[in-house]
Homo-oligomer: A and B are copies of this chain.
Amino acid sequence: MENLLKNLKDTKVINNDPLAKRIAITAISPEKELAVIIMEKLTFDDENVDAQLQQTSTSHKLIQQNDIYHVLLSDSHRRNDKLDNQKVTIIYPATQKHVDKYSKANISLFRETPQKYNDIVKPYIDSLPEKETKWIQALVSGEAENETYYYRGQEFVIAADYKWDKKDFNTLYLQAVVKDMNLKCLRDLRTHHVSLLRSIRREIGNVLKSNWGLNLSQVKLAVHYQPTFYVFHVHVVSVNYSSFPGLNVGQSHLLDDIIEMLSLKSDIFSQMTLTYHLSDLHKLHHLLKPHESDRDLEHGA
């Protein structure tokens, strides 16, 4: 095997998954046979974290520091010995908020009937302080600094999401945000919104085409429920962004499906029980939890 590896020719990367830290390569042996090689970083071991920290202290160098954030890189990386290397981020001194942010969340599925929406979720949305949407008002006004706008219209704007580097199309991420602050979420949609939703879809298509020569079959248009903020908006994510964490069923709905459902039944989103998952760090988790019952086992009972 050692000899085989040393004498491989015509190496070609056929896949490189940055989330999974895995790369797949093809190569040809001296006997002209094909080889597929998959290299993958191993998972961390829960058991020996103390020993690992000790090792980090001697084998890693500080490469970046900003206030409480310290970033270390393994020494092997600096030696251009790129096989085994890792990044260590230390937040020190940290607060409980940092601990929560990096802790494994406890997730549950909730079934929000129209009644639960009216009794619990809508009052929660209405109670959110207005200042939380101040940045959205600046965004939809079309004049926010530091924003990259691709479309500014009467009814909505299309801007780059701050998480996108504006270079790698595999991680393309835009947002379309409506200007009507009364249109807050999926629950508010009716048939008369279909023309707005179609024009959002059309303008996203135009933005993709004129800026990067892409078309709508290369992106997913998705709406979150529950969303992070309550002004109706559509996420535009490359279909190749397979490790994107926000496009799971139970948190996301395709704009295409929403348009179809509204076209077939106008009041469907006011009548439907919507099912979604929430982490226990979300306020709604604690508001909804006491109202869950064994009866939920009996769907529609």
Contacts and interface: CB of A to CB of B under 8 A. Distances in A.
- Interface range for A: 35 or more
B36 A102 contact: yes
Given A21-B44, A38-B102, A260-B272, A297 B249 contact: no
Contacts of A54: 5-6
B86 A83 contact: yes
Contact of A257 (B37, B76, B275, B277): B275
A50 to B, nearest CB: 6
A98 B252 CA distance: 33
Interface string A49-62: 11111111111001
A63 to B, nearest CB: 11
Interface in A9-49: 11, 13-16, 18-27, 29, 33-46, 48-49
Contacts of A168: none
Could you say which of A44, A215, A259 has the most chain B C-beta atoms within 10 Å of its C-beta?
A44
A53 B5 contact: yes
A82 interface: yes
Contacts of A87: 39-40, 42
Interface stretch (A108-116, A150-158, A176-184): A108-116
Interface string A92-122: 1111101100111001111100000000000
B82 A84 contact: no
A176 to B, nearest CB: 14
Interface stretch (A125-133, A137-145, A240-248): A240-248
A90 interface: yes
Interface of A: 1-6, 8, 11, 13-16, 18-27, 29, 33-46, 48-59, 62, 70, 72, 74, 76-77, 81-96, 98-99, 102-104, 107-111, 197-198, 201-202, 205, 215-220, 222, 239-240, 242, 245, 247-250, 252-254, 256-257, 259-261, 263-265, 268, 271-275, 277, 292, 296-300
26 contacts: A3-B57, A5-B53, A5-B90, A11-B53, A14-B102, A16-B46, A21-B21, A21-B41, A21-B43, A24-B102, A27-B53, A34-B98, A36-B94, A37-B53, A37-B91, A38-B89, A41-B85, A45-B82, A52-B83, A84-B85, A107-B239, A108-B217, A249-B257, A259-B299, A260-B272, A260-B274
